[in-house]
Structure 1
């Protein structure tokens, strides 16, 4: 009560912070007359002036008021839009690396221009991250007019863009793109063998549009680049044969989660079976050496005992096809990950397709935390403020609206069942449609959209159904959702980034209706007519009550509900919102069938009757908070596991960068060689042991295997003064002498390239194998909980040990290759770096194993996306790419030379691709 009183007197901390920014807004406004007096040329010269000021020691904060005033005036002249004062506040918040929560229709796209321009002036690059490719292209073109007019360069990253265009786009002052494109480019860059091949430059500042969608909703699924592994068919079949012998008493099954755990007796018995089958490297099932076998064993057990044919999957044309548990539809092209699909294929005796091995991965949390400064904007972030701070250290600032909100948010209506609810919804829509009030209906799934569409057909109501699969078409329809009598059904995330204006959107109507008309008086007259029609229609819609937002059920997150509500009541417009719920809704089933709430509704409600109360709405909100907390725990767990890998990833990527940057890597190779010798001797002659305890024979075998040497170890041991250090010193001297002779007979430049190439190739190989082992470890480490151990702590400990082992193996491998290799001079060829292969890029859900790759709206699912890389025929089909009619076919163009068309791609990947 005291807090409420203090808040009413002094305002909330958010209110006080926003009020404090008013001083800076006043400075910007005070500069407006001075900036307005500048000519176009003088206003455009401001960019060079700001750069000079920064070069002379001023900071971005010093030039902020004048820079913002410059952008506002340039926007008026170029775009015909002037920033409101609240938009200036939003720009300051973004510049400070915070999240600006601004309601729908408040002009977030325009707000971003302020902070983007200010930070781009320094020349270090600004990334503007959007939820889909359509918005990236649209905003780059739309706001790019403003930036270009002020002398800044703008690039946009879209799929199927060639390497040259991609590098050029990242080199621009401002780069637009999606979170997936930025993340995958980072991973691909760290798989390349030369800095010249890399497309991204060091991170500086990023503004994330729809920040809650990207950093919250999509953050549960890591980005993964994968490639085919070696054929493990025999392993799958061998383990499947073992699993088919296992009786039910050896394991406990959870039908609900499809998880299986071994009993204590079962663990002992399965160890015996695996040893008999020769599948275990050591006798203990849970030794780290057996991680891969245990992982595949668990997957085979799931496949045989938990996944049922014709329920979870069908066998069609000698292939296992997944069945969607919600729709019953076949999901062609989709595969379970982590070896589960291969286990089912082994079970059914069909051809086993190779498993895709992780080559690189990163979570969005760890990717975006690499930016020194990160900001975001959205209409709904306050409910997730704690998570934004915990994970990203970003503060959420609620920006006041330019005009007071006029929307009326009605109480929820509760019904007994789905049939009653949808009948009531259809009736309500028909009533609003009859008076011309536009209706936007939000559903939680495509199936619910289709169900409602059937009810509306019976009512004779014309409508549009959107499921966010085609963003450009969707944007055009959503933009007109505010017209008289419009009824638009959309999944809850559909249409984000598109403003719903009452009476219709002039810009979209002009684009749709006058696309083929040339510039001139006739087109101008047509545009004027459209503007008049929109203004008249807007007035009628306002009189009808504005946009009516109707939701068919509550989402598990309050934030998604708020997003939907926020589509109505933009810029002080009238509006209405109402949610319809029933006991069969997913969220209400959380209460269970035996709760007081359910009993009351079943006993007191007649068929078709509805009730509404603040108490019920409060109960729903409490349930939503619980689900939000659970989802946060899931995302936090993903981060915790990826943080372990992230520390290792940084070491590997930094090492790769150092190798690529170094003119010579001889010192690194020498250190690796000496460490390898030390490890071989230490393993056989442990510190503090006596000579009679040394494993001399084992040491001789390992020296021969790794170093390709047969030194006189026995003779050395006959000396009275021999110590492990002396043996190590003599071995070092021998291997150093061998390497010096090899280097003396080779061209130094060629030898350096050989060393760098081997270092990078073996580093990538062992890192890839390490990632595969970590994937398998993560799948089985939860079993440690049965031993009263924390799985995450066990994972950290095991992962650290595996990483140390990987580094030891890497040093040994490189040393062995260089000692055993012979350098032969071949005829000179045009030098080229290896192209990266075509790999699969995915957005894998760690819980379901399904690839959730989408274009950022939470509902559009695609099969795996192919990386758009140099060397890929798909990349060559992008801008400046291959042409089927090759005009250079009769010219003597080298296949490794740049294509004469100017695309920046090699001829063999461009016009010469079909040759």
Structure 2
């Protein structure tokens, strides 16, 4: 109560913060008369002046008022658009690395130009991240005019462009692109073999458009680059045929958790069918030998029972194409991992593409946290403010609208069945459309949008359907959704990023009605003037009819998505109306709504076709949405936790690759690796404080031959010399190994030899990193079982990943040493470094609510400096080992430094005491 009273008297903390920015806006406005009086050339000369001030020690904050005023004047001259004061507030918020929550239609794209220009002045690059390729191209072309006027360059990153085009785009002052492309370029760059072929520059500043969609909705699954493995098409088809013969009694499904398991009877039935098909080893499905078959049975079950055609995916041109759960868009080129996509292809009878092995991966959380400064903008972020701060350390600032919002948000209407609801919706749409009011209808799936389309056709309502099937015409359909009497059905905010302008959109009407006219000609200008006059007249009629009517056919799991849909109406002070229609068959109510609240009350007390509206019911729906939002946050948080376990590991590997590529010579690294291998094999064969007759002489000779390529006469040395110790033995083997490689290097010129060493280092590093990812993938899939032993899975995962990483580093050293010792180099020309092939890129759709593929990162802050290849230290586990050496056994790697601080390996120190 007291909090509400204080808020009414003093305003919220957000209101006070926004008000405090007013003094900066006043300074910006103070520069306007001076800048308005400048010529175009004088205004463009502001950029060199600002850069000179920066070179002399000025800070960006001190330049902000004049720089923002410069951008405002440039936009007014070039685009005919002048930033409002509230847009200046949004620009300040973006510059400070915060999230600007601005209503739809408030001009977020224009706001971004302010922070982009200011932060591009140092010349270190600014990235503007959009949700799709269309918006990246559109914004780069439109806002690029402002930047170009002021002397800055603009680039755009879209799929299927060459590497040299990507390098040029990243070298620009401001680069537009999608979140997927930025992330994939980072992964691709760290798979290259030559620094010159990398495309990205060091990260500086990024503005994420529709920040909630990118950093929240799409952050539940990682970006993955993978390569093909063996073809197992027959296995997928055989298992799919078996699964299709199962009845609902043979499995149990949990839609809330998106999981499905065989019952006992179902297991027996599957075992018999697999045995008949010759796919079962032994009689028990869950024997170790049948692990792969069990995995494919589970994936086939998920594909057939949990995944629905035209909701989770569509079949287009003989391919299974994933549908994004949140936008309804097709995700071309994206594939589910772990055999799930192949199971869906077998289900639909299309060509089965080979399964893929992960080669590189990163989550959006860890990718965007690499930017020293990150900001974002969206119409809906307040409901996720705690997550933005927890994960990204970004505050959400709600920016007031330029003019008051006049939209009316009506209470939800509840119906008993889906048919009752859709009939009521169709009648309501016909009623409003007949009065000239445009209607935007939001649905949650392709299936529902096409079902509603049938109801509207029966009612005789002319309408357009926008979903993944019509992705290409998305912007055109949405742009004209505000015309007189227009009815548009859109799947889950498809078309987001394109304004719905009442009366129509001039740009798109010109494209649709006069595609042959060239801009700037008299014919084009005449047609544009005529259409502009028609739009003004039509807009007034639409305003008189009540503005845009937004109708939601059901509530989404997230309140934020509902708010996005509502926000399409009432832009820039226009009148508008919004209402949601719900029924007991809606997924949200069916899965998450309590039976006592909805089923008993509505099924028993409401007649067919009857509607009910109640604030109490609306609050109950909101409570259900909050539960789902909390569950989804836990899912995303878990993705980050597991991904963080690998963060430092990836940093070490990628930094090592960069160091190798940048180095003029890497001979010292190779020598250090070779000496470490000698130390290891001698240490294993010669225990500390032991006698020569206790040494594993034959094993040492074999290891020296295999890894170092030398035939060390260890037995002769021991027989001929009294008092031969381990250090002397190590020195002799090391000398022979060095001599062998030096003899090879002498046969080639230094440049060729350096190229060989680099190539071997990089290829060995990549090979073992790929295998390490596969191991972590398998570990991630089973680590939850440790919970049955009363252990915390994430802690177990950290320790196991640490041990695997340490083992991988040892394997890298051995393989590099073995290759250098045994390979024959009989050419004089430096070898060509291999080209990076076109790997498959995937960002798994998060509609399963679980991490379908493992993530890939590590524990923040453990390793912050670059280290030589030989000294690549694995991240230390978080646990305190204590002071008792007896408790260290099994918790400290044999080759790790002893925790006592002696500087010796554990196996040669306290590890020897408990061996």
What range describes the TM-score normalised by the shorter chain of this pair?
A: 0.7 to 0.9
Match of 1:741 in 2: 743
Matches within 5 A, 1:127-166: 127-166=127-166
Q: Deviations over 1:597-644 (max 9, x none)?
A: 321111221111111111111111111011011111111111111112
* CA shift in 2, pair 1:92/1:740, >3 Å: same
Match of 2:108 in 1: 108
Q: Residues of 1 paired with 2:685 and 2:338: CA distance?
A: 37
Q: Does 1:54 align with 2:54?
A: yes
Match of 2:595 in 1: 594
Match of 1:647 in 2: 648
Please state how far the C-alpha of 1:769 moved relative to its aligned partner: 1.2
Q: Residues of 1 paired with 2:229 and 2:647: CA distance?
A: 23
How does the TM-score come out when normalised to structure 2? 0.83
Q: Residues of 2 paired with 1:124 and 1:150: CA distance?
A: 17
Match of 2:672 in 1: 671
Quick check: 1:441–1:551 contact (8 Å CA) kept in 2? Answer: yes
* CA shift in 2, pair 1:531/1:35, >3 Å: same
Match of 1:879 in 2: none
Q: Does 1:33 align with 2:26?
A: no
Match of 2:77 in 1: 77
Q: Residues of 1 paired with 2:791 and 2:748: CA distance?
A: 55
Match of 2:293 in 1: 300
Please state how far the C-alpha of 1:771 moved relative to its aligned partner: 1.0
Please state how far the C-alpha of 1:740 moved relative to its aligned partner: 2.5
Q: Residues of 2 paired with 1:11 and 1:345: CA distance?
A: 56
Q: Matched residue of 1:90: which SS?
A: helix
Q: Residues of 2 paired with 1:405 and 1:844: CA distance?
A: 37
Quick check: 2:220–2:849 contact (8 Å CA) kept in 1? Answer: no
Please state how far the C-alpha of 1:758 moved relative to its aligned partner: 0.7
Quick check: 2:336–2:852 contact (8 Å CA) kept in 1? Answer: no
Match of 1:494 in 2: 494
Q: Matched residue of 2:826: which SS?
A: coil
Please state how far the C-alpha of 1:352 moved relative to its aligned partner: 9.1
Please state how far the C-alpha of 1:222 moved relative to its aligned partner: 1.0
Q: Residues of 2 paired with 1:253 and 1:740: CA distance?
A: 65
Match of 2:531 in 1: 530
* CA shift in 2, pair 1:232/1:445, >3 Å: closer
Please state how far the C-alpha of 1:501 moved relative to its aligned partner: 1.4
Q: Residues of 1 paired with 2:542 and 2:658: CA distance?
A: 60
Please state how far the C-alpha of 1:821 moved relative to its aligned partner: 2.2
Q: Does 1:765 align with 2:761?
A: no
Match of 1:901 in 2: none
Q: Residues of 2 paired with 1:689 and 1:347: CA distance?
A: 64
Q: Does 1:817 align with 2:819?
A: yes
Q: Does 1:88 align with 2:74?
A: no
Q: Deviations over 1:725-777 (max 9, x none)?
A: 33222221221222233233331121111111111111111111111111121
Quick check: 2:223–2:364 contact (8 Å CA) kept in 1? Answer: yes
Please state how far the C-alpha of 1:673 moved relative to its aligned partner: 0.6
Match of 1:282 in 2: none
Q: Matched residue of 1:213: which SS?
A: helix
Q: How many residues align?
A: 811
Q: Residues of 2 paired with 1:459 and 1:133: CA distance?
A: 36
Please state how far the C-alpha of 1:823 moved relative to its aligned partner: 2.4
Q: Matched residue of 2:542: which SS?
A: helix
Please state how far the C-alpha of 1:502 moved relative to its aligned partner: 1.4
Quick check: 2:218–2:846 contact (8 Å CA) kept in 1? Answer: no
Q: Residues of 1 paired with 2:89 and 2:61: CA distance?
A: 14
Q: Does 1:750 align with 2:752?
A: yes
Q: Residues of 2 paired with 1:89 and 1:195: CA distance?
A: 40
Q: Residues of 2 paired with 1:159 and 1:780: CA distance?
A: 35
For structure 2, which runs of at least 5 residues remain unmatched after alignment?
244-249, 269-274, 321-334, 854-915
Match of 1:582 in 2: 583
Matches within 5 A, 1:200-279: 200-229=200-229, 255-256=253-254, 257-259=259-261
In the alignment, which of 315, 319, 326 is matched to residue 333 of structure 1? 319
* Comparing 334-343 and 493-502, the one that deviates more: 334-343
Q: Does 1:370 align with 2:370?
A: yes
* CA shift in 2, pair 1:41/1:310, >3 Å: closer
For structure 1, which runs of at least 5 residues remain unmatched after alignment?
245-251, 267-272, 280-285, 287-292, 314-321, 854-915
Q: Deviations over 1:132-151 (max 9, x none)?
A: 11111111111111111111
Quick check: 2:232–2:354 contact (8 Å CA) kept in 1? Answer: yes
How does the TM-score come out when normalised to structure 1? 0.83
Match of 1:701 in 2: 702
* CA shift in 2, pair 1:717/1:787, >3 Å: farther
Q: Matched residue of 1:795: which SS?
A: helix
Please state how far the C-alpha of 1:799 moved relative to its aligned partner: 1.1
* CA shift in 2, pair 1:351/1:135, >3 Å: closer
Q: Residues of 2 paired with 1:344 and 1:480: CA distance?
A: 36
Match of 2:379 in 1: 379
* CA shift in 2, pair 1:329/1:86, >3 Å: closer
Match of 2:734 in 1: 732
Q: Residues of 1 paired with 2:361 and 2:313: CA distance?
A: 31
Please state how far the C-alpha of 1:258 moved relative to its aligned partner: 2.7
Quick check: 1:153–1:173 contact (8 Å CA) kept in 2? Answer: yes
Please state how far the C-alpha of 1:306 moved relative to its aligned partner: 7.7
Q: Residues of 2 paired with 1:79 and 1:305: CA distance?
A: 56
Q: Does 1:633 align with 2:634?
A: yes
* CA shift in 2, pair 1:647/1:232, >3 Å: farther
Q: Residues of 2 paired with 1:603 and 1:347: CA distance?
A: 39
